[in-house]
Amino acid sequence: MLAENVPAWFEIPTRDLDRATRFYETLLGAELIREDTQMGKMAVFPARIPHVTGSLVQAEGYRPDAQGMVIYLNLREDLTQTLNRVEPAGGKVLMGKTELPDDMGFFAQFQDCEGNRVGLFSQT
């Protein structure tokens, strides 16, 4: 049973799914899984069950926005490596690697190629 306040899925809006897919594949060094669904086109972030994952979405009613909720992607590597790939891939670093208190880890934020504000988290 899942805890009540734990995310189960996330969706990042896109205007150009191909461009956004290339951006995140370059940023994360992972191949996203393309799907056409009843609601629209998706590119799903790979993950092993039971881990939370989500997708990029190009569909009616989805609009990229830097002012809404921020999703944090959990990385297994030092954030610096990923942040160094943001701008060459077409994004912009908004907040560099920042240490959290009590050895909780590190976070950063960037704007993706679609205009979304997205966060990164890592223990190192």
CATH numeric code, 9-122: 3.10.180.10
Tens digit of pLDDT for each residue in 2-44? 455 667 789 999 999 999 999 999 999 999 999 999 989 999 9
**Where do runs of H (alpha helix) occur along the chain?**
17-28, 79-86
pLDDT in tens, 56-91: 999 999 999 999 889 999 998 899 999 999 999 999
CA 117/CA 92 separation, integer angstroms = 9
> CA 110, CA 96: separation in Å to the nearest integer?
8
What phi, psi does 80 have (nearest 5°)?
-55, -40
What b/e sequence results for 63-87 when a residue is b if at least 16 CB atoms lie within 10 Å of its CB, and e otherwise?
ebeeeeeeeebebeeebeebbeebe
